[in-house]
Structure 1
Amino acid sequence: MNKKIQIVLTSVSLLSMIGCDFDVPDRTKITQISETIEESKANGVFLAEYRPNRELIKKAWAEIHWVYDTLGNIKKQRGHELYIEAKDSIGLSDSWSECEQGDTSNGNVGVKGKYLTYELTEEELSKDTLIYYIYGGKKRKCMGELLLIKKK
């Protein structure tokens, strides 16, 4: 009797693991982030690369929101996201007064927690220069203006 129970439990366990696809993560309906500018270009979602005026920022680029469909293909979504890789934990504000109050609508998120994200409008994306104010660093205060200049 014990051997039959053991066989049944083992069979049920194996069937549930195979049937539930534990080894294949479902990547659908989750907004994806390209880890590099090169990956963004390869995925066909790259929009623009930006050059920062501060050494605190390593890289900055914009891409289209995207997800995997059920077949594993990339499906572009609406909206544009700016990704900024910073050397320190920072936030961005649209105005100096928001920055001084520590009012930032974002933080380091994304791939391995190293990208700051900022949603861009069509109007912002069309501009050659984006202006934000940096909050954070070791002193947790407004550190000044950040200019992102679109590379051509």
Structure 2
Amino acid sequence: MNKKIQIVLIGVSLLSMIGCNIDIPDKTSSVQVSETIEESKARGVFLAEYKPNREIIKKAWAENPWVYDTLVNIRKSKGFRLYILSKDSIGLSDSWLECEQGDTSNGTISMGIEYLIFELTEEELSKDTLIYYIYGGKKRKCMGELQLIKKK
């Protein structure tokens, strides 16, 4: 009798998993971010790498946001994004006044990694240098200028 109940329960579980598409993740539901600059280049979405002059920033690069299409091919999304991975939680502002007031862009979590994400305009992307003001670090204050320099 116990074996019959087990078989029925296993059958119902399998049918519900297949019927509800539990085993197939929807990869088109959110924009993806590359975990490394090399991955960004391999996927064909890389736009520029930036070298920060503050040690709190681990790496920063710009890429075209991307998603998987239904055939699991990479499809570029619209716009340009700057991704900044830091050693500590920080915020960035585009002016000193905003930075002092704590008016900053904060990190967002993507693929389990915490990034600061900025939408870039075509004009900003074409510049060799972007200047932002960094807020945070151990003292939680405005630390001045963060200069992001595009590597050529």
Equivalent residue, structure 1, for 2:121:
121
Query: Once the 2 structures are TM-superposed, how far is the Cα of residue 66 of structure 1 from its aligned partner?
Result: 0.7
Q: Kindly report which structure 2 residues correspond to 1:40-119, keeping only aligned pairs within 5 A, or say none.
A: 40-119=40-119
| Alpha-carbon distance in structure 2 between the residues aligned to 1:128 and 1:111 | 29
SS of structure 1 residue aligned to 2:99: helix
Query: Once the 2 structures are TM-superposed, how far is the Cα of residue 2 of structure 1 from its aligned partner?
Result: 8.9
More displaced 10-residue stretch of structure 1: 32-41 or 53-62: 53-62
The 3 A distance-change label for structure 1 pair 21 and 123 is: same
More displaced 10-residue stretch of structure 1: 142-151 or 7-16: 7-16
8 Å contact from structure 2 (residues 105, 116) kept in 1: no
Q: Percent identity?
A: 78
8 Å contact from structure 1 (residues 91, 108) kept in 2: no
Equivalent residue, structure 2, for 1:132:
132
Amino acid at match of 1:122: E
Amino acid at match of 1:20: C
TM-score of the superposed pair, with normalisation by structure 2: 0.90
Q: Give structure 1 regions of 4+ aligned residues with deviation exceeding 4 angstroms.
A: 1-9
Amino acid at match of 2:47: L
Report how many residues are paired.
Answer: 152
Query: Once the 2 structures are TM-superposed, how far is the Cα of residue 31 of structure 1 from its aligned partner?
Result: 0.4
8 Å contact from structure 1 (residues 45, 76) kept in 2: yes
User: Can you list the C-alpha shifts for 1:59-118, whole angstroms capped at 9, x where unaligned?
Assistant: 110000111111111110101110111111101001101100111122253242332211
SS of structure 2 residue aligned to 1:114: strand
Amino acid at match of 1:46: F
Query: Once the 2 structures are TM-superposed, how far is the Cα of residue 11 of structure 1 from its aligned partner?
Result: 2.4
| Alpha-carbon distance in structure 2 between the residues aligned to 1:117 and 1:81 | 7
| Alpha-carbon distance in structure 1 between the residues aligned to 2:42 and 2:85 | 19
Where structure 2 has 5 or more consecutive residues not aligned to the other structure, the ranges are none
SS of structure 1 residue aligned to 2:65: strand
